[in-house]
Copies of this chain bind each other. A is one copy, B any other.
Amino acid sequence: MKRSNRLVILTEFFMENPRRHIQLPYFVDLCETTKSSISEDLDIIDNVLKTQGLGYLERTTGAGGGVKYIPELSKEKSLDFVGDLREKLEDANRILPGGYLYMTDILGNPKFVREIGRIFASRFSKLDIDVVVTVATKGIPLAYSVASLLNVPVVIVRRDPKVTEGSSVSINYVSGSSRKIQTMVLPKRSLPEGSNVCIIDDFMKAGGTINGMISLLSEFNAKVQAIGVLAEADDEEEERIVTDYTSLIKITNVDLLNNKIEVQAGNFSIE
């Protein structure tokens, strides 16, 4: 097979299989070529990915050695994207009764969801993560986006048990904003004991929901390695109970009187 054809096949493969470890003989067969040609192809792809700020190919040698595409969005591209997002969110038409912000269209756009996931996956790239955990419903698409780029499964915590998921573990927790006691459940067979998890959600105020997830996960002896939220908002009445997290944007002010919203970049941009 010619180099030009091989480069298309290999690039497509890496884009569809991020973080999947592949031994070179697989590509030698797939492209009907030699190991040294594949090696040169990988150099070209690695170089382009780095130049374009899209990540890199991680290569290992020796027995069992091979190659893995690590997607990492450059800081510059991440900041550009979050800047666009802030602009979109500062539209006064988004203000809902009660001072909430309409974000359903953003979360409904697969392209945005993919980019948000890419920023988290880049941020958590060096961590040891076995599974992404989220709570139904709005965090689900973001969780899948992060998980697909980290090449790990998604586990969804629910508010109510479902008959189609078998026996579950449930906990009660106090919601930060409403001060109500709520329930969270996780099917027993959905999460192996002692997993390294990354928690993803769309929104965090005081952090009651995420704190509830942490309690529930401790029942599975899971280790929380990272927490990512798309948007955080200040809660004047409550102190934040979750402090170690990554946010992409921060809603600093929803001014119902003057119909104005202020959105800043989240803490991912610091450092």
Which of A's residues lie within 8 Å of B, judged by CB?
Answer: 3-5, 7-9, 11-12, 15-17, 44-45, 47-49, 52, 54, 96-98, 100-105, 108-111, 113-114, 136-137, 140-141, 144, 147-148, 151, 153-156, 158, 163-166, 187, 189-190, 203
**What 7 pairs across the A-B complex have the smallest Cβ distances?**
A110-B148, A15-B15, A11-B11, A8-B48, A100-B164, A7-B7, A108-B153
Given contact pairs A12-B11, A189-B102, A4 touches B44 in the complex (Cβ within 8 A):
yes
Q: How far is the CA of A137 from the CA of B137 in the complex (A)?
A: 7
Whether A153 touches B101, Cβ cut-off 8 Å, given contacts A7-B7, A7-B11, A12-B15, is no
Copies in the complex: 2
Residues of B within 8 Å of A154, CB to CB, are 108-110, 141
Name the residue of chain B whose CB is nearest to the CB of A165.
B104
Given contacts A96-B164, A97-B166, 9 further A-B contacts (CB under 8 A): A5-B47, A100-B163, A103-B164, A105-B189, A108-B155, A109-B153, A109-B154, A141-B141, A141-B144
How far apart are A106's CB and chain B's nearest CB, in angstroms? 10
A114 touches B9 (CB 8 A): no
B156 near A108: Cβ-Cβ < 8 Å: yes
